[in-house]
Structure 1
Amino acid sequence: MTSRADRRRAQKGARGGAKRPATIADLAARVERARAPGLGRSAEARGRRMLAAYLQTAAAHGLPLSRVVADLAEGAVTLRLGEVARDSLMQAPPPAVANAACADGCAFCCILTEGDGGLITETEARRLHAALTPLAGQPEGRAWHAAACPALDPETRSCRVYEARPTICRSFLSVDAAACETNANGGEAEGAGLLGSHVDYLAVQALARDLLKGIARVPTYAMARVAAGAVEGESLDDTLDGARHGSNVLERTCRDAAKAGGA
């Protein structure tokens, strides 16, 4: 006679082994069970719809499962769907976008007071490192301010790799430049925040991690550490090793984003 504990272990083993996806359709069947800890139900549901639509499109185009898994694991899908969410938001921009005070050289948001610089995917980390590596050894942002992003030009305070900047940089805006300066100096002024589409970006990344549990690792990285490694001439592999987040950072970032809301 089989005990209840034995049956639970057998069921758990079946879920972890025999039911590994063999097709994109198998992977898509897992989407409804995927979770994004730290985010609310509505954000989680939007992320599931976005992932389901992506997998449906991937299957329709005949992409191999290995390619889909790799794109999910490296964050290429997160980046792509985050762009879709932002483009959709911009079709009817919220007031914060219309009233944004952001301008070239106004770089107080690039003073990374918490040191991390924000969460980025592996795809974004590779892109940022590749863009900054040719600039290794040149004057960089920390020559202007010790906590500034290394991607900055210290004289103009402009981003030297603007086209390769990660989603966190593209999502941040402020309606009050003075508030950004206050916050950069340790204050707590209101007026700056993230676009709501950034929550969708985080939802997709968190869901992808849960979706690929037992199949592939879905890492995230510290943007500031990636930029620093590149401008200091560090190899990509060493930079990724040094910038890789612990497993709890994504959930904590999701929780903070959900609490803050979005423009």
Structure 2
Amino acid sequence: MSRIASRIAEARVGTRPDVADRARRGLVAWAEAEAAQGTSPDLVLDRLADGTAAQGLGRLALSASPVPQGLACASGCAFCCILSGADGGTITEAEARDLHAALSPLAGQADGRAWHPRACPALDPQTRACRAYDARPVICRAYVSVDVTACEQVAGGEAVEGPGTLGPYHTYLAALGLSRSALKGTRRVSTHSLARLAAAAVEGQTLDEALKVSRHKPGELDEELRRSKRDLGRAAGPGLP
């Protein structure tokens, strides 16, 4: 096992043990594959630090997961894109860079906030479709619902069943936490606010400016992991894991 994989194997994260173990195995396998391909150790560390590894693990898990039955999700139904959380939606630095690249050409155009003041700026305000769909982060890909009415209620601040995040999102978060633990003292593992990053991009801020204004405080990832742990085991709605 490579030195980096050994550090990941020894890392700890504050989530449910089975989720932590799944994320740890995924990251170790990723690090070993990178080493086998001849990727330099510095680049492997950089990809751990910017969340590329966690992002890839989350996307892979989503692609391998069966689609829950009875989903009500459809283009233009954007209640899930009303970002009411204090963190503005947790994303990695790699995802923030992808979103900025997708949204910065749209600078100056009307955005989702013309539909709803707390809507994601990535939305088209007329169609309510995502204008950065291919670059959307794991949190967007993993959030689903079996009840549109429930989504509208959640967007309004009510706690109801129906919407929820699929299991791979929790694995992705655990992978981020493990990356931070494994890289402690060597690399900074930052998370960013989806809402603030998207707003900065459509308002014409440079990538460096957008990363700066959207960067979370270090404790936000820990708080998101605690929220994730509380959510695990709850039934999000009929047909959802």
TM-score by length of 2: 0.94
> 1:31 maps to what in 2?
8
**One-letter code of the match for 1:36?**
V
* Conservation of the 8 A alpha-carbon contact between 1:115 and 1:147: no
> 1:76 maps to what in 2?
52
> 1:134 maps to what in 2?
105
In 2, distance between residues paired with 1:151 and 1:215? 34
> 1:7 maps to what in 2?
none
* RMSD (Å), alpha carbons: 1.3
> 1:148 maps to what in 2?
119
> 1:11 maps to what in 2?
none
Which 4+ residue blocks in structure 1 deviate beyond 4 angstroms?
Answer: none
Cα deviation 1:210-259 (Å, max 9, x = unaligned): 11111111100000000000010111111111111111111111111121
* Conservation of the 8 A alpha-carbon contact between 1:136 and 1:232: yes
Q: Give the paired residue count.
A: 234
In 1, distance between residues paired with 2:209 and 2:230? 34
Structure 2 residue matching 1:120: 3-state secondary structure: strand
> 1:253 maps to what in 2?
224
In 2, distance between residues paired with 1:127 and 1:120? 11
Per-residue deviation, 1:114: 2.3
* Conservation of the 8 A alpha-carbon contact between 2:87 and 2:216: no
* Conservation of the 8 A alpha-carbon contact between 1:150 and 1:224: yes
* Conservation of the 8 A alpha-carbon contact between 1:140 and 1:150: yes
Per-residue deviation, 1:116: 3.4
Quickly say closer, same or farther: Cα 1:212–1:154, change in 2 above 3 A. Answer: same
Structure 1 residue matching 2:2: 3-state secondary structure: helix
In 1, distance between residues paired with 2:84 and 2:42? 39
Which shifted more, 241-250 or 108-117?
A: 108-117
In 2, distance between residues paired with 1:27 and 1:240? 27
> 1:45 maps to what in 2?
21
**One-letter code of the match for 2:180?**
R
**One-letter code of the match for 1:191?**
G
Per-residue deviation, 1:115: 5.0
Structure 1 residue matching 2:120: 3-state secondary structure: coil
Which shifted more, 99-108 or 55-64?
A: 55-64
* Conservation of the 8 A alpha-carbon contact between 1:117 and 1:149: no
Cα deviation 1:178-204 (Å, max 9, x = unaligned): 001111122222100000111110111
Cα deviation 1:148-171 (Å, max 9, x = unaligned): 110111111111111111111001
